[in-house]
Structure 1
Amino acid sequence: MGLRSVILKTSSLPAAPLSHQFHNSSIVRTITMRISVFPWLFLIVIPSMLCINLIPVHSKCVEDQRTLLLQLRNSFTFNPAISTKLVYWNETTDCCKWNGVNCDKDDHVIGLDLSYESISSGIDNTSSLFSLQFLQSLNLANNNLNRTQIPPSLDSLHSLTYLNLSNAGFSGQIPRFSQLTRLVTLDLSTYFFEELHPLKLGTPNLRMFLQNLTELMELHLDGVNISAHGNEWCQALSSSLPNLRVLSLSDCFLSGPIDSSLSKLQSLSEIILSRNNLATSVPEFFGEFANLTVLRLISCNLYGKFPTSIFQVPTLQTLDLYNNILLQGSLPEFPQNGSLQTLVLGYTNFSGPLPYSIGNLGMLSTIELQSCSFSGLVPNSMANLARLLYLDLSSNMFTGTIPSFRTSRNMTHIDLSRNDLMGPIPFSHFKGLLDLEYIDLRFNSFNGSIPSSLFGLPSLQKLLLANNHFDGLHADFSNASVPHLDTLDLSSNNLRGPIPFSIFELRRLNVLLLSSNNLNGSIQLEMFQRFSDLTVLDLSYNQLSVDANGSNSSFSSFPHIAALKLASCNLQSFPDLKNQSKLFYLDLSDNKIGGKIPNWIWGVGDGALVHLNLSYNLLVGLQEPFVFPSLGILDLHANHIRGKIPTLPQDITYVDYSNNNFNCSIPLDIGNNLTSAYFFSVSNNNLTGNIPESICNARYIQVLDMSKNRLSGSIPNCLTEKAETLGVLNLGKNNLSGNITGTFLTNCGLKTLDLHENFLEGEIPKSVQNCSMLEVLNLGSNQIKDTFPCFLNNSSSLRVLVLRRNMFYGGIHCPGANNSWSNLQIIDTSSNYFTGALPQEFFLTLRAMMNGVDDAQSEISHLRFEFLRLNHFYYQDTVTVTNKGLEMELVKILSVFTSIDFSNNNFEGNIPETVGDLKSLYVLNLSRNALTGTIPSSIGNLTQLGSLDLSVNQLSGKIPVELTRLTFLSAMNLSYNQLVGIIPKGTQFQTFSNTSFEGNKGLSGPPLTSDVEDNHSYPKTEINPNWTTGESNWHSATRTRINWNWIAAECGFTMGLGFVVGPLMFCKRWRKWYYKYVDHIVFRILHRQDQGRKNQRRRPRRNPIKRR
């Protein structure tokens, strides 16, 4: 064979892989060397010729393919600065080597990847794209194709096996792909445009769309509006896609239930249906998918019990059920060497313990169980999870101590907050976790000293230990290496002593929170200038004396401070904050700052100050001129500010001027500057004049409190008519007069309506019943003349009803009211003209006063109105009640406090036996009526009763011995009745004085003395609505004999009272301490009474964060 023929034959060989080409070249060279008849020079030239002829030609782009690609590029609008593919396409290079282009052996373009190319123009049916008939893979993901429709011409690309148009910017109806029968992977997911014009499957619907796509193995339609019921979409999938392995249909407006036809898809390995309102239970057959690796059902409104068989699927790697609060379940025992890598059950109702076998899941890297109902110990076997990276067990009921995490060397995140964990933190538990960035142990009961080892974690960024019982911080951790620590929260612990100097060595801190501890000593504010990046500083509520007037008190070294909280820091003057350009939150409340508020404070933060709290100081006024352009929250309450009410910025949302000495009328245009306000209070000042009509321009107002002033005139009609947004309207303790006019509309949102202690007349408007969420209605101490408001008896939300000291008349029987007053906990009709019998059915409707009716009652909380929840603002309701013969103002109405006061009326007949069903009743006052018959023995069932007053009636018979069972009874008055017999003996009864039983001529025995037994004068019993039912009225002053022992005792009492009342009146700090102490005592008493109820643990539920 001649050499020429060999060369030609070799040149005509089809293109081959590169390794084969080199092999052919060596064969030719061998043949050449064996031919000796040719000149040596020719032999030298021949190899080079062979090399030229053997260059593979298959990588050269076919001309028509290059032309089509260039036409496609020229039709696009894209950003060259972002593009990594199209920008490099040009005519001088081989198109098969262009970025994003793949060719086959015949030089046809079979793959095109133009993802992330910032393409911002659409694709129409005439595009050269559809002439690339050999195209097998097309990826246009993550572009912005101008919200155009998917061109139907895509259906002409018959060879496509992979099509990815996810987040490409398409919108509208998806066309039918009847010719793309070879498709294996289809991704039309969209997230970025789901709120504008999302993709949808209407016509064709899902069944028609999938009909010919029988080869599909992966289907991603996340964000496509399918809007189909369970049997529709499940049957559409199961009938058309027998080979389906990956199913991803998140955010598709699907509904449930999940149809059993889906069980036919036995090849399924990934099921992702998140954020569809399936409203169903999880089917058992999910546990029969033998190849299941991923099950993600986030925010699907699932309920029922989760099948434990799913946990047992050996291939399962990811289980994500986040935010299905009705879904119940528990964790089973896990086998050895399980495949599970990600376990997310946050915001579900899973409960029970964590099994010890969780330590068998050696592949586990993520555990998120936050805001569930898990309980018990955190098992020590978690120390076996060597691959664990992320752990969140927050907001559960875990108890005991925390396990060691030393073996989880790659851990980055630990959140055990809001549990019942306790004990000290061992020094070694976090040792060696070099990648740990986040530790959150807040809201537990950890104690002891905070170990310095926590400050030795080199990657730690956030250390949150607030709301525990830590009592010490190692004074020296200056050698600890925490170069990245930016947040340190030690607030609400028991830390004492001076602030450790080592804290000032944490130079990278952005956030330092030390509030609500027992830290003491004096400290210069300039010390904190060591933190050059500090943005948030909170030293509030310690025993510190912060000196803001040091040698360098201008804060010039705080260039980034954004929030400064120095409440209760014994400040004597304002810190110099003039130069703080980024400060937007300033709290200097509860200090000793006097004088006027300087006008430079309004320019703090370059005029961007949003939150200013100067309450509980000694301020007397505002330095003029005052302009607060950006202020959103202004709290000046509890000062001594006098004069006129300052003009408000129009964007303000919260204004509290209460408890000051403003002595003017309310500006007529006040409402024009409250158009964005949610809260406005000027209570407890000396304001006069009328309520201006402009107040109704505050269209978003939720709390309006003008109580405790000297306002006069009538209530503006518009206030009742705009009650759609208004949650609290408090105009009590003023001089308002006239009728309550205006109409409460059907969408009334009032929860508190307090108009007590005015001169209001007329009747209660029937339209009040439109306020379906009303919880507190206080009309006491007015001149209202009306019958009992039976029209409110279906208000299931009403908790407090006060009608005392008016001119109400008639009976309190409400026909057809068997299911009414279900949440009423305080009712006061005292000092009116009510008559007739006490209906026994009435007491049966008071279900909130019965044990076990409302589980919410078992949790001690306060009746209050919450608003601006992100800022933790709420309005605290108050009400005046008569308890143990004394009028007391409940500043915090505990949800477990219950009271019935029907005193000083003209009720007659027997006391109904049904009163004994109110087992959680705390105060019962039926005194000064005309009640007859015997004292019901069923009152002995009121085991929570603390005050009982049946005095000044016509009750007869013996005192029931069952009353001695009332062990919580601390005040009882049965005086001035017609009781007979011996006073029952009991531990509690022996503590009551003579006055509890006097005026009953037939009673005898201790604690009555002989002179009291002989004295049976009765007080007058006529009705007097203006009577104060105080302690002096528990017994009548009918006796004229002077008892000097009593006078001496009362003189001593008066002097002692002066020592207590004097500081209360004139010393603010003593008054605050006293109120706090009394509240604490009342809270403990009521908590003790509540121990017999269901102990539902209070656990904050955070708003779920949207996840994908």
Structure 2
Amino acid sequence: MCFFITSLNQIMEVKRNTKMQLLLSLLIMCLLHVHPTLSGGYLLSEYRALLSIKSSITDDPQSALSTWNTSTSHCTWSGITCHPSRRRVTILDLSDLRLSGTLSPDLAHLRFLSNLCVASNQLSGAIPAELSSLSALRVLNLSDNRFNGRFPSQLSLLKNLQVLDLYDNDLTGDLPLAVTQMPNLRHLHLGRNFFSGGIPSQFGQWKFLEYLDVSNNELGGPIPQEIGNLTNLRELYIGQYPNMYEGGIPPEIGNLSELVRFEANGCLNLSSEIPPEIGNLVSLKSLDLSYNVFTGEIPESIGDMPELEELRLWENNFTGIIPQRLGKNGKLQLLYLSSNKLTGTLPPDMCFGNRLELLYTDGNLLSGPIPDSLGRCESLSVIRMEHNFLNGSMPRDLFGLPNLTHVLLRNNRLTGKFPISSRNVSQLRTLDISDNKIHGELPSWIWRLPDLQILNLSHNCLETLDVNLNSSQTSVSRLRIIDLHSNQLQGQLSTLTLNFQNIIPRGQPFSFFISRNKFDGTIPMSLCNATYLGALDLSHNHLTGTIPQCLIEMSTRLSMMDLGGNNLTGVIPDSFSDYPCYLQILVLNGNQLEGELPKSLAKCNKYLKVLDVGNNRIQDTFPCYLKSIDTLRVLILRANQFYGSINCLDANTTWSNLQILDLASNHFVGKFPIRDFSSWKGMIVTKNNAGQPGLRHSESSNNGKALPLPDYSSEIRVNLTLKGQELELVKVLTIYTSLDLSCNSFDGHIPAEIGEFKALYALNLSHNAFTGKIPQALGNVTALESLDLSSNKLIGEIPQQLADGLIFLSTLNLSFNQLVGKIPQNNQFTTFTESSFEGNIQLCDFPMKEKCIHEELGPSPPPSKESHWNSIDWDFLSVELGFVFGFGIFIGPLIFWKRWRKRYYKHVDDIVFKMFPRTYIRIENHRRRAYTNQGRQARRNQGGRD
């Protein structure tokens, strides 16, 4: 019985325990559902957070989030990494997916997240402050997006954060102090935002920081000296505009002994001298302080940095010599010292260790020879030393370096002959030694360089070319430019081009410049064999004969042709092609060409920009077919025998880019016809033609016929009469506009609409038959520097508007007209001499000798009531009596003593002669003629009476 009772009790206890377990299980399940912080609820919370993140993405062009769906575990979704055992999200990497949208605050539910990277997308909006809940976060990378607003101060709670990258966003406000409360930070990138203010001194308190970048913001103020407390820092980037700090670099920078890279470039405003403590940066490999206004000498200590590999100090105001120990460490690879004011010689050991690759010292005041050691620097790839005062001869083996690709030594004082290379050069692409004093012969090894593309030896004293080459001696040429202009080369041009046949490339655009030499003979037709000849300049030689017709037919490929300044004769061949005509620049100025201007020029209406046929013997009417070429920028017909009117230049003329029109010294007649100048925008728009298209190559390939040639506008030379002198102007198309109709027979009024030419620099209408008044609207041409209206029939007064508006006028000639009245007396008009106005006999006041007669200002005021008509003003009377008495003392002797009178007149004559010699001589000549005529008349009268 007891056993039964005992057994029954045991059975009842088991049932009770089973119920309790069941109830406990149900309770746990409810708790898990209600409280996601327990057990599997984490998974549910992360799952929902990730779906919320996906819903905040508005554009997913690569369908990168297509795997984020309910059918699979979120740990398998793209961009997500979970802990292998706990199945918690630890890494979320959605970088470089071109996602658009915002960053969801539900990221805060990924409590185990240690790495969040959404870099290189197009996410916008504010950075969620809820991210402060991610206490496990080690890496936060939001770079290269469009996040805006201020940095949330709540993120200071991320005490475990080691990497914070906010580069290239739209964040504003001061640099966030919240980041200084992240004690474990090692990498902080705040660059390329819109942060303002200064660098806080608190930024110097991190113990572990290795990387700091605040570049390319809007920071100012001084660089804090506390930066020197970051003793573990390895990379520091604080430069790039619009950062514009005040002062210089604090000497405490020398405390950063672990620093490997330091860049403070492009701030434009960093000044003072570089502190010598910078030499304490014994680990530094790269230093960039370029594009600032540092002064003083480059510290000698920089030359002693044991690890220095790259030094960029260009575009500053450094003076003094380059540290002579620079490169002695044997590790220097890159040296940029361009555009400073450095003097002295180049360091002899820049390539010690044979690792130097890029050497830029251009734009300084360096002198002395190029070190011979550079001729042994086999690592060297680029040398740029142009625009200095280097002298002596070039190192013998300089051009034999195996890795050398670019050599630019132009505009120095190098002398001697061209070195004869003892090595086989294989990679040289650019060789520019222009503007030096190299003489002698150009050696044949130049033509054996298989990769040479640009050869510029212009402005030297070269006398001969060794071009007696056959096809076996030359490599496959890739030459694009041969520029030998302004040397002393001589001989028959036909011989030169014949020897060049194996050098001139046949499958690519090619430019050939040999102007300003002493070549003679005729233009060889063999030039036409250069199938892809794109630019040809044979100007200013001694060439004779006619222009080959095949050369004109090459206008289907030729973009520039300058044959000016020779002795060419005959007519211009009328064979410009319409296939189409790609000719942009045609200069034939200064020859003896005859006949008419070829009508086929009209076929070049798409690209023609410069047409200069001045100073020839062309006899023709105005080429009206040119008026529809809206690309035309320069038209020069001066000093020919053009005749007739220019009435075709009406409102339909489409010269929207015209800058220079020169019709001077021809036989044009009639009125200046234009009344609608609105299409002449090149002379109307006052922005130095900044918005006007330049002389660039055609962008259309047209089945391979168009040639991608360089922009030649910077080298265009035109002959113009400027300020009364014949000048050759270079680079005119970027700065110059002029209108010259002088020395013709134009008549009628000067149109007032010419005042619309607000961009005009020079206007010359002299030596014509213009009548009427000077338009007041000329005062609106505010850029005008030279105005010549002389030798016309202009009448009336000089408009006051000219003096008020033409504040840049430096040359004025209004002489030999019929102008009257007072000359304006303000601004530039006070600087002009009498010669600017002579020949206008009724002009008066300065600088003319004639004074203007002013009218009375009205009747005198009535006498006061206190005065009486017969009262005596004793002050006035005393003055009058004194004057009469003094005048009598002075004049009396002249009347009654002949001897005194002669001495007085002689003394007056001497004074007049010394002060006004020309006037005195003119008066004396007039007096002699009058005396002679008087004597002759007396003799005639005497003879008549007899």
TM-score range, shorter chain: 0.5 to 0.7
Give the match's secondary structure for 2:335: strand
Tell me what 2:165 maps to.
318
Tell me what 1:613 maps to.
456
Aligned residues: 740
Tell me what 1:589 maps to.
434
Mapping of residues 1066-1081 of structure 1, within 5 Å? none
TM superposition shift of 1:448: 1.7
Mapping of residues 602-1001 of structure 1, within 5 Å? 602-603=447-448, 607-626=450-469, 628-629=474-475, 630-632=477-479, 633-641=481-489, 642-643=491-492, 644=494, 645=497, 646-647=500-501, 648-650=503-505, 653-675=510-532, 679-687=535-543, 688-691=545-548, 693=550, 703-709=560-566, 710=568, 714=572, 721-723=579-581, 728-730=585-587, 732-733=589-590, 735=593, 738-741=597-600, 748=606, 752=610, 754=612, 756=614, 759=618, 774=631, 776-781=633-638, 807=644, 809-810=646-647, 812-814=649-651, 825-828=659-662, 830=664, 833=668, 835-836=670-671, 842=677, 846=681, 849=684, 856=690, 875-893=714-732, 895-903=734-742, 904=744, 906=746, 908-909=748-749, 911-912=751-752, 921-929=760-768, 931-937=770-776, 939-940=778-779, 944-965=783-804, 966-986=806-826, 988-1001=828-841
Q: Deviations over 1:378-418 (max 9, x none)?
A: 66676566646152734657465442443554443344445
TM superposition shift of 1:951: 2.7
How far apart are the structure 2 equivalents of 1:823 and 1:311? 54
Q: Deviations over 1:462-486 (max 9, x none)?
A: 22333433221266538x8633112
Q: Give yes or no for contact 2:817–2:840 (8 Å, CA) kept in 1.
A: yes
Q: Give yes or no for contact 1:218–1:246 (8 Å, CA) kept in 2.
A: no
Q: Give yes or no for contact 1:741–1:765 (8 Å, CA) kept in 2.
A: no
Mapping of residues 131-142 of structure 1, within 5 Å? none
TM superposition shift of 1:814: 1.3
How much is the aligned-residue C-alpha RMSD, in angstroms? Answer: 5.3
Task: Using structure 1 for the length normalisation, give the TM-score.
Answer: 0.56
Q: Give yes or no for contact 1:244–1:267 (8 Å, CA) kept in 2.
A: no
**Structure-2 change in CA distance of 1:843 and 1:718 (3 Å):** closer
Tell me what 2:299 maps to.
451
TM superposition shift of 1:459: 1.9
Tell me what 1:308 maps to.
149
Q: Give yes or no for contact 1:943–1:967 (8 Å, CA) kept in 2.
A: yes
Give the match's secondary structure for 2:835: helix
Q: Deviations over 1:178-207 (max 9, x none)?
A: xxx99999xxxxxxxxxxxxxx989xx789
How far apart are the structure 1 equivalents of 2:683 and 2:620? 31
Q: Give yes or no for contact 1:705–1:729 (8 Å, CA) kept in 2.
A: yes
Q: Deviations over 1:1025-1055 (max 9, x none)?
A: xxxxxxxxxxxxxxxxxx9969x9xxxxxxx
TM superposition shift of 1:862: 12
**Structure-2 change in CA distance of 1:286 and 1:902 (3 Å):** farther
Mapping of residues 105-504 of structure 1, within 5 Å? 216=74, 246=92, 248=94, 250=96, 258=100, 272=118, 274=120, 283-285=124-126, 290=131, 293-297=140-144, 307-309=148-150, 314=155, 317-321=164-168, 332-337=174-179, 341=187, 343=189, 356=200, 359=203, 365=211, 367=213, 369=215, 387=233, 389=235, 391=237, 393-394=239-240, 398=244, 400-404=246-250, 405-418=253-266, 420-421=268-269, 423-428=271-276, 430-473=278-321, 477=325, 482-501=329-348
Whichever residue aligns with residue 284 of structure 2, its letter is: L
TM superposition shift of 1:981: 1.9
Whichever residue aligns with residue 393 of structure 1, its letter is: G
Q: Give yes or no for contact 1:409–1:434 (8 Å, CA) kept in 2.
A: yes
Tell me what 2:421 maps to.
577
TM superposition shift of 1:532: 5.8
Moved more, 573-582 or 934-943: 934-943
Q: Give yes or no for contact 1:389–1:413 (8 Å, CA) kept in 2.
A: yes
Q: Deviations over 1:659-709 (max 9, x none)?
A: 22333444445354453x665433333444434547877987655544444
Same amino acid, percent of matched pairs: 25
How far apart are the structure 2 equivalents of 1:978 and 1:754? 35
Q: Give yes or no for contact 1:353–1:377 (8 Å, CA) kept in 2.
A: no
Identify the match of residue 846 of structure 2 among 999, 1006, 1009. Answer: 1006
Give the match's secondary structure for 2:463: strand
How far apart are the structure 1 equivalents of 2:467 and 2:325? 48
How far apart are the structure 1 equivalents of 2:711 and 2:148? 39
How far apart are the structure 2 equivalents of 1:887 and 1:720? 36
Q: Deviations over 1:470-505 (max 9, x none)?
A: 221266538x86331123333443333344556576
How far apart are the structure 1 equivalents of 2:205 and 2:756? 53
Q: Give yes or no for contact 1:220–1:249 (8 Å, CA) kept in 2.
A: no
**5+ residue gaps in structure 2?**
1-46, 52-59, 81-88, 133-138, 699-706, 854-915, 922-946
TM superposition shift of 1:890: 2.0
Tell me what 1:1030 maps to.
none
How far apart are the structure 2 equivalents of 1:399 and 1:770? 51
TM superposition shift of 1:450: 1.1
How far apart are the structure 1 equivalents of 2:710 and 2:734? 23
How far apart are the structure 1 equivalents of 2:799 and 2:401? 73
Tell me what 1:1028 maps to.
none
Larger Rg: 2
TM superposition shift of 1:636: 1.7
Tell me what 2:928 maps to.
none
Q: Give yes or no for contact 2:150–2:172 (8 Å, CA) kept in 1.
A: no
How far apart are the structure 2 equivalents of 1:608 and 1:490? 28
Whichever residue aligns with residue 307 of structure 1, its letter is: N
**Structure-2 change in CA distance of 1:661 and 1:456 (3 Å):** same
Give the match's secondary structure for 1:337: helix
TM superposition shift of 1:1003: 1.8
> Is 2:444 aligned against 1:599?
yes
**5+ residue gaps in structure 1?**
1-180, 186-199, 223-242, 323-327, 785-804, 1014-1042, 1049-1108
TM superposition shift of 1:461: 0.9
**Structure-2 change in CA distance of 1:730 and 1:218 (3 Å):** farther
How far apart are the structure 1 equivalents of 2:75 and 2:639? 76
Give the match's secondary structure for 2:295: strand
Whichever residue aligns with residue 732 of structure 2, its letter is: I
How far apart are the structure 1 equivalents of 2:277 and 2:528? 58
TM superposition shift of 1:454: 1.4
Q: Give yes or no for contact 1:740–1:761 (8 Å, CA) kept in 2.
A: no
Q: Give yes or no for contact 1:333–1:358 (8 Å, CA) kept in 2.
A: no
TM superposition shift of 1:939: 4.5
Mapping of residues 529-608 of structure 1, within 5 Å? 529=375, 531=377, 533-547=379-393, 553=396, 561-567=404-410, 568-582=412-426, 584=428, 585-603=430-448, 607-608=450-451
How far apart are the structure 1 equivalents of 2:214 and 2:759? 40
TM superposition shift of 1:577: 0.9
Task: Using structure 2 for the length normalisation, give the TM-score.
Answer: 0.64
Whichever residue aligns with residue 517 of structure 1, its letter is: N
**Structure-2 change in CA distance of 1:670 and 1:844 (3 Å):** closer
How far apart are the structure 2 equivalents of 1:369 and 1:873? 38
Q: Give yes or no for contact 1:561–1:580 (8 Å, CA) kept in 2.
A: no
**Structure-2 change in CA distance of 1:560 and 1:925 (3 Å):** closer
